[in-house]
Structure 1
Amino acid sequence: MSDTEAESSLRIYNFIHADLKDAFAEDVRRGLASAPKQLPPKYFYDELGSQLFEAICLLPEYYLTRAETEIFSRYADEMVGEAMGEASTKEVTLLEMGSGSAQKTRLVLDALIKRRNALHYIPVDISLAALKKSARLLLAAYPPPTLLRVTAYASDYNTALAHLHKNHNERGRTLALFLGSNIGNFNPIEAESFLQSLRAILRERDCLLVGADLKKERKALEAAYDDSIGLTSAFNLNLLNRINRELDADFNVRLFRHVALYNEAEGCVEIYLESERAQRVALRGLNTEVDFAAGERTHTENSYKYDTSELATLAARTGFEVKRTWFDDKQQFSSSLFVAV
């Protein structure tokens, strides 16, 4: 069940309550009992984690946000034109998975508003605080007579998609957004499963804009995930702070360090927390203790990189075809328009 907040143009479904807290506890228990140890990256995004990630996006080493913003600043009108075609519909649905601050979303909204469409924006994000802030800022930026309404989901992807599968009955065209290289957080099998679930709520000719970081030299990739001032390290280590707070654990965060390595064979940057020495951590909320060896790494995230042929294959396997792809000037990042077939 969800908690629902409703205003005149804003409805928020909050699935972040006991069920998700129980899932967090179980995921931590299972992950730290596995060999090798692992923790799911979706739990990075508590309130501080979301703020840290927004700061990371401003770093000189983290080229991804700048490259994608360049693409949208230059081509948003083209993207919307390709997605909407000559379709005449009273209302367009803009569905965004992992909306965050929704900064690039505004460029898409501007392009849609030029077409005089009424807009139904459906953001999905794991951070309730970020979701509320971005939704209200958007409504303030597009006041009446702009016909914008927002239905927001504070949720993980699977829960939101399951709810949307039962309740998504939009009559007009839907344009879905999966930006910021979020697709790279999934391994290839998970990426296919996610896109198939998303395809299930779309109609034929609905579209999906997918952001993907492109394969490139190791130095640039590792620097993007291990910046010189340590923001990405703080973002990774904050997961231990969250476990301390929510599961009554006693991780000494200073005894772990952030590690980012590019695995060229797998085409992904692998992120770890490495124990600086042998230590035992109590997780009183789970009624357990966990031993860490000196140098032992706990896997927290992958960021898979793509080339255009891999993106085309991914689309074909999940009920889409690639209609067009846009790039930044340095060819570091791509935004591909997938069309549901």
Structure 2
Amino acid sequence: MDTTDNTTSNITSFAADVKEGLTAKEKHLSSKYFYDDNGSRIFMEIMKMPEYYPTNCEFEILSQQSGDILDKLPFKGKFNIVEFGSGDGMKTKQLLSAFMDKGADFTYIPIDISQEAIDALEKNITDALPNITMKPKTGDYFEVLGELTKSSTPNLFLFLGGNIGNYPREDALDLLKKFNAGMKTGDMLLMGMDLKKNPRIIQKAYDDPHGITKAFNMNLLSRINSELDADIKLDQFDFYSNYSPKNGQVNSFLVSLKQQQFYSKVLDTTFYFERDELIWTELSKKYSFDEINELAESAGFSVAHNFLDCKHYFTDSLWRK
């Protein structure tokens, strides 16, 4: 699947981040490394769990309300739909199909750093919607944004999936300000955001009774063993996830069950752990409507409309620059 050069660069980046994260005073591993082949398969299982609501909620919104989303757009004539991090396009396909059915005149521009991901998405979308006008872009989001601002064509930007929740407050604000700086006045941003709700519902979604989320996190340690030639004893670690309804944050951790150490030949480094020491792996922030309005305004946007699933668990929030 990967070329040799890509694999080498990925392992180099992975190695550097693992060494930095596991020698820090407060140990951490980046959630971006969840998604190797095995991790991606496990995440597909997570999305099928009855407890994991975000994917189904957003799919419902885009399946049933995309016509209403189109009606809220101020554009007259041609416009672009520009998507950051489009994944497999399963949910986006619902929106694109509804827009085409209503005769909208748009060009779909998905952006991803991975050419492989773009190729797979292009096939997926054109197989389902053969008449779509599509101009995929491979590269950094902000480089592509710079190209789009040179055109007078208005844009609807998509940042779906609740991905903004993986960023700490200041990082989220920084990212959104960069989006704003690359947009023209009147451009719109549709962003998936998970909402605060009954804490038990959220807790079960991120610490499920089937052990699938635990396997997803433990796969990070398996990657270190296989890619960095390490000797981690997986049964000496556990998984813990906690949701705080006050700040809306889910934080996930791996837990060392004993005082221990492991060695990586690739890094030529021994890593030391105290009993009960934590490795932070992921943040997933849940928002109130007041927080959504405050975040939008701080980044230079105004909220035009919040589209909700029937349970009011999730919103695709439409913002105007």
Structure 1 unaligned regions, length at least 5: 4-14, 154-159
Taking a change above 3 Å as real, the CA distance of residues 210 and 146 of structure 1, as seen in their structure-2 partners, is closer
Aligned-partner Cα distance in 1 for 2:215–2:85: 21
Taking a change above 3 Å as real, the CA distance of residues 284 and 165 of structure 1, as seen in their structure-2 partners, is farther
Encode CA deviations 1:99-134: one digit per residue, 9 max, x unaligned.
2221110011113323242423213367x6555433
Encode CA deviations 1:305-336: one digit per residue, 9 max, x unaligned.
10011001111111211001111121111111
Q: How does 1:61-76 map to 2 (within 5 A)?
A: 61-76=51-66
Taking a change above 3 Å as real, the CA distance of residues 43 and 125 of structure 1, as seen in their structure-2 partners, is farther
- Counterpart of 1:253 in structure 2 is 234
Supply the AA of the counterpart residue of 1:133: A
Aligned residue for 2:100, secondary structure, equals helix
- 1:38 alignment partner, one of 18, 22, 28: 28
Aligned-partner Cα distance in 2 for 1:64–1:170: 35
- 1:119 alignment partner, one of 73, 97, 107: 107
- 1:102 alignment partner, one of 85, 89, 103: 89
Aligned-partner Cα distance in 2 for 1:170–1:140: 29
Encode CA deviations 1:153-191: one digit per residue, 9 max, x unaligned.
5xxxxxx22432444344422211111211110111111
Taking a change above 3 Å as real, the CA distance of residues 97 and 193 of structure 1, as seen in their structure-2 partners, is same
Cα RMSD (Å): 2.3
Using structure 1 for the length normalisation, give the TM-score: 0.85
Taking a change above 3 Å as real, the CA distance of residues 108 and 262 of structure 1, as seen in their structure-2 partners, is same
- Counterpart of 1:173 in structure 2 is 154
- Counterpart of 1:136 in structure 2 is 123
- Counterpart of 1:12 in structure 2 is none
Supply the AA of the counterpart residue of 2:272: D
Deviates more, 1:287-296 or 1:246-255: 246-255
Deviates more, 1:320-329 or 1:245-254: 245-254
The answer on whether the counterparts of 2:82 and 2:156 sit within 8 Å (CA) in structure 1 is yes
- Aligned residue pairs total 316
- Counterpart of 1:48 in structure 2 is 38
Taking a change above 3 Å as real, the CA distance of residues 131 and 289 of structure 1, as seen in their structure-2 partners, is farther
Q: Does 1:23 align with 2:10?
A: no
Encode CA deviations 1:270-308: one digit per residue, 9 max, x unaligned.
100111222211122222110112221100001111001
The answer on whether the counterparts of 1:99 and 1:125 sit within 8 Å (CA) in structure 2 is no
Supply the AA of the counterpart residue of 1:163: E
Using structure 2 for the length normalisation, give the TM-score: 0.90
- Counterpart of 1:148 in structure 2 is 134
- 1:244 alignment partner, one of 225, 228, 232: 225
Q: How does 1:293-308 map to 2 (within 5 A)?
A: 293-308=274-289
Aligned residue for 2:247, secondary structure, equals coil
Deviates more, 1:247-256 or 1:160-169: 160-169
Structure 2 unaligned regions, length at least 5: none
